[in-house]
Amino acid sequence: MCGIVGYWGKHGAKASIVEKMTKAIQHRGPDDFGIWLNNEGNLALGHRRLSIIDLTPAGHQPMHSPCGRFTLVYNGEIYNHQDLRVELEKEGGHFKWRGHSDSETLLAALRHWGVEKALQRLNGMFAFALWDDSEKSLFLARDRMGEKPLYYGNNGKTFLFGSELKSLVAHPAWKGEVDRNALTLYMRHNNVPSPWSIYENINKLPPAHFVVIRDAGETISEPQCYWDLAQIAEKGCADLKYDEKKSIDELDDLLRDSVLRRMASDVPLGTFLSGGFDSTIVTALMQSQSDSPIKTFTIGFHEEGYNEATHAKAIAEHLGTEHTELYVTPEEAMDVIPKLPIIWDEPFSDSSQIPTLLVSELARKHVTVSLSGDGGDELFYGYQRYTKGHGIWKKLDLLPVSLRRALGYGLENLPGKTIEQSLKFLPERLQVPHLADRLPKIADIIKESSGESFYHRLVSHWKDPASLVKGGMEPMTLFNNKERLLRLPGLPERMMYLDSMTYLPDDILTKVDRASMAVSLEARVPLLDHRVVEFAWKLPMSMKYRNGKGKHLLREVLYRYVPREMMDRPKMGFGVPIDEWLRGPLREWGEELLSEKRLSEEGFFDPEPIRNMWEEHVSGKRRWHYYLWDVLMFQAWLETQGI
């Protein structure tokens, strides 16, 4: 795992500048660094190395092909690189390997097969830049599911790229302007989705794409897709597997191989264990293929409703792992908040970033690599919002759109708090918690005319962000682009597809990458092996959702390793009590960032709705913490930028 940077300008490049850019992401690679300038002296590549495979100088980057034509800087891991070496030797004759790093294998594959064909053979997580000196072209590429980040774009007369925005900002000619359109997307999704970034003219390369840059950045190709999840989803749903016993065996074999490949390391490794299904199955498969107890790590909280550490400990004892847990006080958790805008580089407001950072810090004290269980929800129908959302939509879809809209407008004007008070006499089982908060959300989503727009509203934070962001217009995304609707059987499949293309790379994987790399820890995600993804799309919904529970087939595999009774319990999120903190210890901090004077002077938001929400929240009248955390994280980020 590493960090990459580079720039290309018509007026020359300097080693001192690219060295400064690499220092900005030293946390991604504290073990080694390298810089290289091309013969013309106008292109500079930089690399920070976290040594995982081949700790010798043979893995040093930037890495040059033996012929001298190609130069590579690369971040990630290629899990099938030994297989690729065998294939390369069969096709291309004898290769004189300098070491056993996957970087050298990747460079050889790119040279032998070309960029697109090589990408289609890779099993891994990666982002890389490849310079072709013969064609005077720079290739940038990103892995299939978006595990590794890559930013790029022109800043003035200089083309810049890097693993994190802070490396681009470190360039002395940097002039960053907030993209107000991207800000509207952030306010809706609590992250800035690809291909946008928070800065104008700087893009994120979408997962499973590559671009070609020529003429010092004057010519940038459109991102080119080398692995199309839309096609995979459509073809999978058209050719479903119906033999459940065979499918369980096949999934077990696939996952075992995926985990085993991600256990390859020349440094100590372990796994995050939250106690949920996904982290447990990764841990179980890892332990079953290890000759000694693996290391597992869990963060615990004393607050009821936020703690899975007791379940994780029981699972660790059953599997026989070497388990480490750390119970965190609210004060310790809140201490990391000032670090968040610096670590995440652009506004990011999924509050589970806090425990993710804490468990990464814990793991890094013992290992350099940790496996993570992310991805199971998107592939195997695991989120509660899928089941609840689909259930609601099936009922709503029976009603005419005109009637639904009338009901929605009526609910918007109901006094939720008054209704809550009047219903208190009902039995507890009939009570509706936080009805005042839920009524506006219900009113909003029932007015939608299609399943996609319904789900878009369901997963949105701010429902009309363009009215909040001054000068911002919300761009079209996958959610509202009717030209990109897929031929999938129903709303359940479309929800999983939309999340796999948006929420998974832009929220979940961004969260894991930044939290782990901030402490120089490599996180690997076995459930997102592309073979597992392709397999999951061939499963009928009956193998994903059964008896009111998601992840059916994944559960059946897990029950081979962990007793059913240990796992059959309600799903618990990996979060922190932000709503309570904003009324208590974070209130003064929030008040300062959200003061009407400050919001007006900065000029990004309309202060009135924000102030109304803040006052209602701190008074206990309403729970607006999700919306407010979005604004607070932008404000905290803005404060670090000096804009």
Q: Which residues are catalytic?
A: 2
Question: What is the DSSP code string of 125-144?
Answer: EEEEEEEETTTTEEEEEE-S
3-state secondary structure 33-78: EEEEECCCCCEEEEEEECCCCCCCHHHCCCEECCCCCEEEEEEEEE
**Contact in structure between 567 and 280 (CB atoms under 8 Å):** yes
Count of other CB atoms within 10 angstroms of residue 99: 15
d(CA 403, CA 618): 36
**Contact in structure between 185 and 247 (CB atoms under 8 Å):** no
Phi then psi for residue 99, to 5 deg, are -160, -160
Convert 573-610 to b/e letters by CB count within 10 Å (16 or more is b). ebebbbbebbbeebeebbeebbeeeebeebebbebebb
Mapped onto helix, strand or coil, the DSSP state of residue 289 is coil
Rounded-to-10 torsion of CA 335, 341, 342, 343: 80
Beta bridge partners of 47: 4, 34
d(CA 163, CA 514): 10
- Helix 277-288 vs helix 244-261: angle between axes, to the nearest 10 degrees? 70
Helices (H), 465-550: 465-468, 491-501, 503, 509-517, 530-536
3-state secondary structure 205-271: CCCCEEEEEEHHHCEECCCEECCCHHHHHHHHHHCCCCCHHHHHHHHHHHHHHHHHHCCCCCCCEEE
**Contact in structure between 155 and 175 (CB atoms under 8 Å):** yes
C-alpha separations of 360 from 190, 221, 364, 376, 517 in Å: 22, 37, 6, 20, 9
**Contact in structure between 469 and 602 (CB atoms under 8 Å):** no
Mapped onto helix, strand or coil, the DSSP state of residue 298 is strand
Rounded-to-10 torsion of CA 269, 275, 281, 286: 20
Strand 151-155 to 202-204 pairing: antiparallel
